[in-house]
C-alpha cells in the first residue's frame, strides 16, 4: 500500500517544528546577510503554505497532533500541538503573510527592507509558535516575542507619529503580557501545571480560577484591543508602514484572541461559574462594534478609518462569548462563525490596508476628501478597497457575509436580539464608512495633487487578497466542516 506508506511518512515529519524553526532561522540569516534578505524573506513566506499543507494532511482525521520537542513531554518539556483550531489561525497567517511579503518587497526601499525582512520573519516564527504551543507559559513567551517584533515593525517607518504610536503600543503590549502572566502564575499555584491537557483535568471552579480568568482575560483583551482597551490601536496601526499595518490588524491582534479562545473553550467554559464573564465580554464586543464603527465614520483619513474599522471588527469576534448551548457549554455554531470571521477579516483588512498604502504612496496623503479621481488612475487599488470593504461590511457574496450570516443565525436561535441588532447596525455603519471613502474615489479633488507611480505588484497583491476574501464567500460548502471540527474538538477534549 504505497499510498498509506507515503501518507504515514508525511505524517511522521515534524511539520510543526519546521513551521517554527524555518522562519526563525530565516530571520537570523536575513539579519546576518542583508543582501540576501529579500530572497530569504520571500522564500520563507512562500514556504509556509506547502508546510502547512503537509501539516494539514497530518492532522486531518486525528483529533490533534502532539509533538514533544526533544522527546520530553508534558509537564516538564515543551510540547507542540497542532489541531484544526490552530490550523485555522496558521492558514490565515500563511495566506496573509505571503500577500504582505509580496507587497512589502515593492513597498520598502532597500534601507528599510534590510530591517523589515528579519523582523517580519521573526514575527512569523513567533506567531506560528504561538498557534502551536500547548502550555500557558510557552504561550506567554511567544506572545511576548510577537509583541516585541510587532512594536519594532511599527517603529520602522520612523518619524514622530510612528515612534509615539509604537511607544504607546509597547506599553500596552507589555502591560497586557504582565497581567496575563499574573493569571498564569495564579493558575500554576492552584494546579501545579501549565499544560492545557493537565489543566483541563485539574482546574476547578473557585476564587482562584475566577481571578486567573479575570486577569488573563483582561490582559488578552488589552492586547486584542477590545473596547475600551483599544486606545493604543488606531495610532499604532495608522502610523505604521502599510504592510506592517496589514500584519498588525490582520494577524497580531488575532494571536491574543487565539489564546483567549483556547482558554475559554478548553479550560474555563466548562466551569459553570464563568457565564457572567462571557456576558461581559459580549457587552464589550457590542460596545466595540458601535464605538469603532462610529469613530471610523468620523475619521478624515483613510488609514485611521481602517484602523477604527479593526476596533469594530474585533467586537464581532467577542459576540460568541455570551452565546451558550442548551447544556451551558459554548455554542459551537457561534464559534464556528467567529473563526470564519477571523479568516475573512484578516484577508479583507490586509487588503484594505495595502490599498490604503497604495493611495498614500500615490497621492502623498490619505485625506479622504482629497482623493483625486483615483478610480480612473488606480482602478485595481480601488477595486481592492471596495471589494474588501464589501466583505468587511458583511455584504454578499463575500466571506464577511457568510460569517455574519452564521453568527446572526446562532444569535437568533438563542433569541439574542441585542446581538442581532448590534450586528446589523454595525454592518450598516461599516458600509457607511467604506462607501464614504469609495464615493470620493470617483470625484475630483478641489486641488490637483502631484501623483506618484504605484508599482503594479502592490496593486495586484492588494486586489489578490481582496479577491480571496470574496471567494471565501463562495466556499463555505468546502471549508465549513473544517471550521466545525476546529470548534468541536477542543470542547470535546475539555469534557473528557
Partner 1 sequence: MNPGNGILLSVLASSLLPGLVIFAIAEHRIALRTTLNLLGAVVKLVLVGWMLWGVAHGQAYELRLALLPGLDFVLRAGPLALLFVTLSSVLWLLTTLYAIGYLEGSPHRSRFFGFFSLCVTATVGVALAGNLLTFLLFYELLTLSTYPLVVHRATEAARRAGQSYLVYTLSGGVLLLAGTVWLYSLTGTLEFRATGFVQDLDASHHGALIAIFWLLIAGVGVKAALFPLHGWLPQAMVAPAPVSALLHAVAVVKAGAFGIVRIVYEVFGVEQAADLGVTLPLAGLAAFTILYGSLRALYQDDLKRRLAFSTVSQVSYIALGVAIAGPIATIGGLVHLVHQGLMKITLFFCAGNLAETLHIHRISEMDGVGRRLPWTMGAFTLAAFGMIGLPPVAGFVSKWYLGLGAMEAGQDWVVLVLAGSSLLNAAYFLPILHRAWFRAPAGDGFAAAGGRHETGWLLLWPPVITAAMSLGAGMLAFIPFSPLEWVQFIGRREFIGYE
Task: Look up residue 23 and give its three cell numbers.
Answer: 522562519
452 in contact with partner 1 (CB under 8 A): no
Q: Radius of gyration of the chain from Cα atoms?
A: 22
3-state secondary structure of 366: coil
Please, which residue, 276 or 413, has the CB nearer to partner 1? 413
The helix (run of H) or strand (run of E) holding residue 79 is: strand 79-82
Q: Which of 287, 476, 479, 493 binds partner 1 (CB under 8 A)?
A: 476
444 in contact with partner 1 (CB under 8 A): yes
Please, which residue, 284 or 382, has the CB nearer to partner 1? 382
Q: Which stretch binds partner 1 (CB under 8 A): 86-94, 162-170, 287-295, 407-415?
A: 407-415
Q: Which of 276, 442, 492, 495 binds partner 1 (CB under 8 A)?
A: 442
439 in contact with partner 1 (CB under 8 A): yes
Task: Look up residue 353 and give its three cell numbers.
Answer: 490596508
Please, which residue, 49 or 420, has the CB nearer to partner 1? 420
376 in contact with partner 1 (CB under 8 A): yes
> Hunting for cell 515543551 — which residue is that?
78
Q: Please give the Cα distance from 493 to 65 (Å, whole number).
A: 13
175 in contact with partner 1 (CB under 8 A): no
371 in contact with partner 1 (CB under 8 A): no
Q: Which of 390, 465, 486, 487 binds partner 1 (CB under 8 A)?
A: 390
435 in contact with partner 1 (CB under 8 A): yes
432 in contact with partner 1 (CB under 8 A): yes
Contacts of 167 (CB under 8 A, 6+ apart): none
39 in contact with partner 1 (CB under 8 A): no
297 HSE (CA, 13 A, CB side): 15
Task: Look up residue 395 and give its three cell numbers.
Answer: 455584504
Q: Which stretch binds partner 1 (CB under 8 A): 86-94, 200-208, 218-226, 371-379?
A: 371-379
300 in contact with partner 1 (CB under 8 A): no
Q: What is the DSSP string of 137-174?
A: HHHHHHHHHHHHHHHHHHGGG-SHHHHHHHHHHHHHHH
Rounded to the nearest whole angstrom, what is the least distance from the CB of residue 394 to partner 1 in the complex?
8
Q: Please give the Cα distance from 230 to 215 (Å, whole number).
A: 17
Q: Which of 178, 182, 373, 479 binds partner 1 (CB under 8 A)?
A: 373
Contacts of 364 (CB under 8 A, 6+ apart): 449, 450, 452
Please, which residue, 311 or 390, has the CB nearer to partner 1? 390
- 8 Å CB contact between 367 and 300: yes
CA 270 vs CA 48, 277, 455: distances in Å: 34, 13, 52
Please, which residue, 59 or 408, has the CB nearer to partner 1? 408
Q: Kindly report the CA angle at 341 between 225 and 469, in degrees rounded to 5?
A: 115
Q: Which of 205, 412, 456, 471 binds partner 1 (CB under 8 A)?
A: 412
Q: How many CB atoms lie within 10 A of CB 471?
A: 13
Please, which residue, 207 or 396, has the CB nearer to partner 1? 396
In 195-331, alpha helices (H): 196-202, 207-224, 233-239, 242-247, 253-262, 275-298, 302-317
Of 18, 21, 176, 41, whose CA–CA distance to 119 is shortest? Answer: 41
369 in contact with partner 1 (CB under 8 A): no
Residues from 133 through 152 that contact partner 1 (CB under 8 A): none
Task: Look up residue 123 and give its three cell numbers.
Answer: 514575527
Rounded to the nearest whole angstrom, what is the least distance from the CB of residue 484 to partner 1 in the complex?
9
Q: Please give the Cα distance from 69 to 176 (Å, whole number).
A: 28
Rounded to the nearest whole angstrom, what is the least distance from the CB of residue 308 to partner 1 in the complex?
19
Please, which residue, 2 or 477, has the CB nearer to partner 1? 477
113 in contact with partner 1 (CB under 8 A): no
Please, which residue, 50 or 397, has the CB nearer to partner 1? 397
Rounded to the nearest whole angstrom, what is the least distance from the CB of residue 185 to partner 1 in the complex?
43
Task: Point out which residues bind partner 1 (CB under 8 A).
Answer: 373, 375-376, 379, 390, 393, 395-397, 401-402, 405-406, 408-409, 412-413, 420, 424, 427-428, 431-432, 435-436, 438-440, 442-444, 476-477, 480
Amino acid at each position: 500500500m504505497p499510498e498509506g506508506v507515503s501518507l504515514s511518512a508525511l505524517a511522521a515529519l515534524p511539520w510543526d517544528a519546521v513551521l517554527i524553526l524555518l522562519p526563525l532561522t530565516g530571520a537570523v540569516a536575513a539579519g546576518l546577510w542583508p543582501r540576501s534578505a529579500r530572497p530569504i524573506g520571500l522564500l520563507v513566506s512562500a514556504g509556509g503554505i506547502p508546510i502547512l499543507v503537509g501539516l494539514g494532511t497530518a492532522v486531518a482525521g486525528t483529533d490533534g497532533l502532539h509533538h514533544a520537542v526533544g522527546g520530553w513531554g508534558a509537564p516538564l518539556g515543551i510540547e507542540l500541538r497542532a489541531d484544526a483550531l490552530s490550523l485555522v489561525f496558521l492558514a490565515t497567517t500563511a495566506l496573509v503573510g505571503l500577500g504582505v511579503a509580496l507587497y512589502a518587497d515593492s513597498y520598502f526601499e532597500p534601507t528599510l527592507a534590510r530591517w523589515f525582512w528579519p523582523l517580519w520573519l521573526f514575527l512569523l516564527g513567533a506567531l506560528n509558535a504561538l498557534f502551536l504551543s500547548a502550555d500557558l507559559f510557552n504561550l506567554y513567551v511567544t506572545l511576548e516575542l510577537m509583541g516585541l517584533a510587532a512594536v519594532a515593525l511599527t517603529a520602522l517607518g520612523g518619524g514622530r507619529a510612528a515612534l509615539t504610536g509604537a511607544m504607546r503600543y509597547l506599553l500596552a503590549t507589555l502591560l497586557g503580557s504582565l497581567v496575563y502572566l499574573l493569571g498564569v502564575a495564579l493558575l500554576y499555584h492552584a494546579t501545579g501545571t501549565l499544560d492545557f491537557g493537565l489543566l483541563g483535568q485539574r482546574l476547578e471552579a473557585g476564587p482562584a480560577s475566577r481571578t486567573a480568568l479575570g486577569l488573563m482575560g483582561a490582559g488578552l483583551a488589552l492586547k486584542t484591543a477590545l473596547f475600551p482597551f483599544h486606545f493604543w490601536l488606531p495610532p499604532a496601526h495608522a502610523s505604521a508602514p502599510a504592510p506592517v499595518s496589514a500584519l498588525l490588524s490582520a494577524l497580531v491582534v488575532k494571536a491574543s484572541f487565539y489564546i483567549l479562545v483556547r482558554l475559554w473553550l478548553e479550560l474555563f467554559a466548562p466551569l459553570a461559574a464563568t457565564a457572567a464573564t462571557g456576558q461581559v465580554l459580549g457587552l464589550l464586543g457590542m460596545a466595540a462594534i458601535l464605538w469603532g464603527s462610529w469613530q471610523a465614520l468620523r475619521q478624515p483619513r483613510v488609514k485611521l478609518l481602517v484602523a477604527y474599522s479593526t476596533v469594530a471588527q474585533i467586537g464581532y469576534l467577542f459576540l460568541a462569548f455570551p452565546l451558550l448551548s442548551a447544556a451551558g457549554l459554548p455554542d459551537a455554531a457561534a464559534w464556528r462563525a467567529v473563526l470564519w470571521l477571523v479568516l475573512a477579516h484578516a484577508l479583507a483588512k490586509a487588503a484594505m490596508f495595502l490599498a490604503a498604502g497604495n493611495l498614500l504612496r500615490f497621492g502623498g496623503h490619505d485625506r479622504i476628501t482629497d482623493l483625486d479621481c483615483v478610480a480612473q488612475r488606480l482602478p485595481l487599488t480601488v477595486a481592492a478597497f471596495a471589494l474588501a470593504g464589501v466583505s468587511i461590511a458583511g455584504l454578499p457574496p463575500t466571506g464577511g457575509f457568510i460569517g455574519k450570516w452564521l453568527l446572526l443565525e446562532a444569535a437568533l436561535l438563542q433569541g439574542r436580539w441585542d446581538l442581532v441588532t448590534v450586528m446589523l447596525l454595525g454592518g450598516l455603519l461599516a458600509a457607511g464608512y467604506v462607501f464614504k471613502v469609495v464615493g470620493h474615489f470617483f470625484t475630483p479633488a478641489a486641488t490637483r495633487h502631484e501623483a506618484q507611480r504605484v508599482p503594479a505588484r502592490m496593486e495586484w497583491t492588494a486586489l489578490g487578497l481582496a479577491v480571496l476574501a470574496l471567494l471565501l464567500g463562495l466556499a463555505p460548502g468546502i471549508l465549513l466542516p473544517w471550521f466545525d471540527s476546529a470548534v468541536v474538538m477542543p470542547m470535546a477534549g475539555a469534557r473528557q
